[in-house]
Amino acid sequence: MSQIVGNVTRSWRLGAVMFAAFGALALVVAMIGLYSVIAYSVAQRRQEVGVRIALGARVGDVVRLIVFDGLRIVMVGVALGIALAVVTGQWLGPLLFQVSPRDPVVFAVVALVLVGVALVASGLPAIRASRVDPATSLRAD
User: Where exactly are the structural domains of the chain?
Assistant: 27-139
The answer to whether the Cα torsion of 35, 37, 38, 39 is positive or negative is positive
d(CA 137, CA 119): 25
Mean pLDDT of 76-101: 84
Mean pLDDT of 6-31: 84
Least confident piece of the model among 59-63, 76-80, 97-101: 97-101
Amino acid at 117: V
What's the predicted TM-score (pTM) here?
0.74
> Where does the pLDDT of residue 82 fall: very low under 50, low under 70, confident under 90, or very high at 90 and above?
very high
Query: Does residue 100 have a pLDDT over 70?
Result: yes
Quote the pLDDT of residue 42. Answer: 82
Quote the pLDDT of residue 141. Answer: 60
